[in-house]
Amino acid sequence: MDTTIINNSIFLECTGNNFFIKGLYPNGFGEVLIGQFGLDLGRFSISIHIHIEPAKKIAKWGVWGKDYDVLVLEFTGDGLKDIKIDNWNEFGKAELLCRKDKDRFWLCQKGTNWNFEILFGMLTFQKSSTYIAGDTDDY
């Protein structure tokens, strides 16, 4: 089986409608928090909370560190084939890993006592939002 491991610096290669995000994070976004995951008959939604300042300033968001210190990227996905979630209530920040196997993607995030894995067809960027988290050591 021909597989390629992709870290989140090029995670967006498994997403459509990603030009905007690539401009914000051309070098990746490090550890993230999966804030929401939802299911709907073979489709799913996922939100990724990024705690690193974007490379580009977006006027309507305000000033990093003053008006916001977290950027939330929301995606929808299709072709959902498999899900594995262990200890959702223990989730925290970690790197996203993505592997492509032929026409499917496998997305994974793991911590000491938690795990998230999905096998799917494609992600599509939907929207972004921001908020102030303050001290993020608890994630």
Residues 46-56: pLDDT tens digits? Answer: 999 999 999 99
Sign of the four-CA dihedral 14, 15, 16, 20? negative
User: Is 56 inside any structural domain?
Assistant: yes
User: Is 139 inside any structural domain?
Assistant: no
Which residues does residue 36 pair with via DSSP β-bridges, in sequence order? 47
User: Is 138 inside any structural domain?
Assistant: no
CA 24 to chain centroid, in Å, comes to 14
**Is the distance from CB of 114 to CB of 87 less than 8 angstroms?**
yes
Pairing mode of beta strands 70-78, 32-40: unpaired
Domain hosting residue 82, numbered range: 3-131
Flag residues of the chain having pLDDT under 70.
Answer: 1-13, 135-139
Under DSSP, is residue 19 helix (H, G, I), strand (E, B) or coil? helix
User: Is 10 inside any structural domain?
Assistant: yes
User: Is 136 inside any structural domain?
Assistant: no
Sign of the four-CA dihedral 33, 127, 99, 106? positive
Which residues does residue 50 pair with via DSSP β-bridges, in sequence order? 32, 71
Under DSSP, is residue 37 helix (H, G, I), strand (E, B) or coil? strand
Burial group, residue 48, by CB count within 10 angstroms (0-12, 13-18, 19+): buried
Q: Domain count of the chain? A: 1
pLDDT in the model for residue 119 = 92
pTM: 0.86
